[in-house]
Chain A
Amino acid sequence: MPARNHTQWMATPPLQKGEWVDSRVYTDQEIFDEELEKIFKKAWVPVCHESELPKAYDFRTTSIANEPIIVTRGPDNEVRAFLNVCPHRGMLIERRPSGSFYEGQPSGNPKRMTCMFHAWQFDMKGNCVYISREKEGYQDRLPKENVGLRRLRCEVKFGGFVWVNLDDNPISLEDWAGEPFQCLRKTLEAEPMEVFHYHKAIVDTNYKLWHDTNCEFYHDFMHYHNRVTGFNDAYFARKNESFEHGHIVVGTFEVNYDQYEGFESRAGLSFPHLPPNQWYMIDLFPGMNFNLRGSALRCDVVTPLGPNKVMIEFRGLGLKSDTPEERQTRINHHNSIWGPFGRNLHEDLIGVQGQGTTMRPGQEPRRILHGRQENQTIHDENGMRHYYDEWGKWMNRSPSNPELPYSAPAIAAE
């Protein structure tokens, strides 16, 4: 078809409902605010890895849906999560990204979370254990027993990731993600892992566009590395499998790393229970990704900041038992592709930023096509179709016209 006029451009494509989405799902402020309430405040988010708080009294801070969160490890070795908000006058209790409460703070005692403002102190279970000049100010009206922190659902699972849910009564984490993790469960739980890589990107794009990129492999055309190390019959036979709750898993094949100049096989450092050079990908609704390329595990977590802004945290993990040499090799394997100076990540980020440029609040709505049907193999777009069907249910909106309530797509999302 030649280039189209406006009417032709806006016409419904010759695809079935469910095979495209309306770009307002990426640009609308009202939809975004609703996503934080309806999705992010109810979903399990892997906020960090347990190796980031290895010792008793270590902490890590994070946030979900604008709510600041603190994760601590107690003297009982339990990892717990709380809102990082002081019950007195709302000060952020801990300001640093990580550290330890083992030593005292300027306003408080050792082994306590202390709010620096008026020195209220909390133990690692979130109990308030000290109110400065308590009796003088509150007499018997407000005992410290009544002003504990807000505790959050928190579990260490699927390879030591720390999962937090802002909802007090969520679906169990096992029921939420046990099935998609099945393919890697033995591998991830064989022995303790350790985070060796962390960096973040803030990109002017919608968080779902990042997740879409993680869910579809058709974009291997923009990765020279993937084309030369991947494209063969086994690659095109990889399955894109859908799971309940909007998750997908991309099955494995053997990557030929030595087809890319300067790269080596990752066979020597395969994760436990895996044949050499395998590549698995688990994409969890609403925006978390676990990507295992033979010798290194990558985990992406999105923090939506606005309809057109997302923070992506990137982590790389190896085995805790690695020798220094093994670790360095794993790091090289991870970062030569996925690091901030690696071959693929830069390309992926340019891609989603380009989409963010054409899909900003105020721009004319467009149709974004998710209509490739290839027997649910690697270049099929069933992963995205499956995701948006789930999204439609959570939001009670139709992804192809978000002003309409949800209705099942013409072709069942696989």
Chain B
Amino acid sequence: MDIQTEMTAPPLSGGLDPAQAREAADAVRNAIYRATILLDSQKWDEWLALCDENFVYDIKAWSPEINYDMTYLHGSRKDLEALIRLLPKHNTDHSPLTRHTTVYTVDVADDGATAKTVSAFIVFQHLLDGTNSHIDSGESRLFLVGKYYDTFRIENGRALFTSRETRLENRRLDKGSHWPI
């Protein structure tokens, strides 16, 4: 059900009552916004704490150039933990990223145990290194634009990410990034 129906529609047979549906949707929405803030502040472990044990993460993009649905990054929760643990070993662009996320739709399943969402995001890169930090630092640039397709498990009023598909519109990615988006 979309946000509209979640507010107004009567419960489906065997479904949630509107108050429960609203509560579940709120929990889901909060999880998405909390994830945005934690990713922005590079609190990777706290971000992963919002995710289920079976969490799967993907960065994908459709390429009209090669006519192929591409996967730029794929990882289980365990893969992401390793990736995050090894970040200090890698040489990474220091420019922080911040995301502007807007949750478009929240569909809570009839049993109230899972949910699916679609959110739009824009990621800005706030240049620190830039090309020449003397000139470029302090400038903000559009880095990525796309949509999050998230799924959740809802338990005791808490929403845990079970998957995140980050779908990019831009395929000119220049230096790219070592960080989850």
Contacts and interface: CB of A to CB of B under 8 A. Distances in A.
Interface in B56-79: 59, 61, 63-68, 70-75, 78-79
Interface stretch (B4-12, B147-155, B167-175): B167-175
Nearest to B178: A346
Contact of A262 (B64, B79, B129): B79
A132 to B, nearest CB: 29
Interface stretch (B86-94, B99-107, B120-128): B86-94
Contacts of B171: 198-200
B164 to A, nearest CB: 13
Contacts of B75: 262
Contacts of A201: 172-176
Interface residues of B, number: 38
A345 B131 contact: no
Given A198-B171, A335-B71, A346 B176 contact: yes
A51 B64 CA distance: 13
Interface residues of A, number: 42
Given A52-B65, A98-B65, A353 B59 contact: no
Taking each of A225, A331, A346, A353, which has the highest tally of chain B beta carbons within 10 Å of its own beta carbon?
A346
A4 interface: no
A340 B65 CA distance: 16
Nearest to A49: B66
A191 B91 CA distance: 37
Interface of A is mostly: mixed
Contacts of B89: 224
Contacts, number: 121
B70 A356 contact: no
A140 to B, nearest CB: 43
B66 A340 contact: no
Nearest to A225: B90
A97 B82 contact: no
A342 interface: yes
B56 to A, nearest CB: 12
Contacts of A49: 66
A202 B91 contact: no
Contacts of A340: 72, 173, 176-177
A339 B63 contact: no
Nearest to A224: B89
A328 B71 contact: yes
Interface of A: 49, 51-52, 60, 96-98, 195-204, 222, 224-225, 260-262, 315, 328, 331-332, 335-336, 339-343, 345-347, 349-350, 353, 356-357
21 contacts: A52-B67, A98-B64, A98-B67, A195-B66, A199-B72, A199-B172, A199-B173, A201-B174, A202-B172, A202-B174, A222-B91, A262-B79, A262-B82, A328-B74, A335-B74, A336-B73, A339-B72, A341-B177, A341-B178, A346-B93, A357-B131
